[in-house]
Every structure is written in structure tokens, then in C-alpha cells.
Amino acid sequence: MPITFHIPGPLRVYCRGSQRIEIKSSPRTLGQAFEALFRECPAVRDRLVTETGQLREHINIFVGTENIRFTGEFATALLPGAEISILPAVSGG
């Protein structure tokens, strides 16, 4: 069962306009899923992670309803059919 990324508005321009992107390669971790996403949509990488591979500070990623900052970040295990949401954090001015 493919996993699905929900793409936020500001990133859709780098994902051929898609709101959802399905990854069919059955990644077992979130890191693998993102590598697959970055292969499809290379411009997304530098917009989500820094040069040191850290998730950008004001961006949250949820697997289902769990924020990955509390589940092992990119090592978070994925079940088939997982839904991954990328959301900007509530911050700024």
C-alpha cells in the first residue's frame, strides 16, 4: 500500500502542483520516504532540511497525527498506507 505525502501550498509549485504525492516503493522509515519524495521533487529537499540534514526549525512533519519530533524524526518507522503531512509551524510575525 503506498504511503502518501500531503504537500502544503508553498511547496506545491515544486511538486507539479500536486496536493498529494504517493510513494509506491514501500519505504520503511520516514527518512526513506523523504528520499523517495526528493527524487521525485528535488527542489523540496533544501526547503525542508538544512545542509546538516536537520528538519528546518519552523516546519513540522506529522505521520498520521504524531509530530515526528517525538517519534524519532526521520528514523520514525512507517506502516504501509501511512499519511505524512508537512506543515509550517505556528510562529512568525
Partner 1 sequence: MLGELLGHYRIVSKVGEGGMGVVYRARDQVLERDIAIKVLSSRTVAEKSAKEFLLEEARAASALSHPNICTIHQVGEAGGELYIVMELIEGEPLSRLVAKGSLPVESVLRYGVQVARALAHSHSRNIVHRDLKSANVMVTPEGLVKVLDFGLARRLRSSIFDESARTIDSLGSGSETLVEGTGGVTGTLPYMSPEVLRGEEADHRSDIWGLGVVLYETSSGQLPFRGRTAFETSSAILRELAPPLPSWIPAGLWAIVQRCLSKEPQQRYQRASEVQAALEAVQSASVAAAGSSGEARGPLTIVHRGIRHLAVKDGDVLLLVGTMKGAFVLRAHSERSRWEVAGPYFHGQAIYSLAYDGRGGKHRLWASTSTFWGTFLRSSDDFGKTWTNPQEANVKFPQDCGTSLKNIWQICLGRPTEPETMYCGVEPAALFASHDAGETWSLVRGLFNHPHRPRWMPGNGGLALHTILLDPAKTERMYVAISAGGVYRTEDRGGTWEARNRGIRAEFQPEKYPEFGQCVHKLVLHPARPERLYLQNHGGLYRSDDCGDSWQSISNGVPSDFGFAMLMHPRDPDCVYILPIESGEFRCTPDGRLRVYRTRNSGCSWEPLTRGLPQKGAYETVLRDAMATDGLDPAGIYFGTRSGELFGSIDEGKNWKMILSGLPPVVCVKAVALGEPRPARKSGSGRDAQKGQASAQAKRSADRKKPRRGKR
∠ CA 7-39-10, nearest 5°, is 25
| Least distance to partner 1, CB of residue 31, Å | 15
Q: Find residue 86's DSSP bridge partners.
A: 61
Phi/psi for 48 (5° steps) reads -105, -35
Q: Which of residues 5-64 bind partner 1 (CB under 8 A)?
A: 10-11, 13-14, 39, 42-43, 45-48, 50-52, 54, 56-59
Q: How many residues bind partner 1 (CB under 8 A)?
A: 22
| Least distance to partner 1, CB of residue 5, Å | 15
Q: Which residues of 68-85 are buried (b: 16+ CB within 10 A; e: fewer)?
A: beeeebbebebeeebebb
Which residues in this chain contact partner 1 in the complex, by CB under 8 A? 10-11, 13-14, 39, 42-43, 45-48, 50-52, 54, 56-59, 88-89, 92
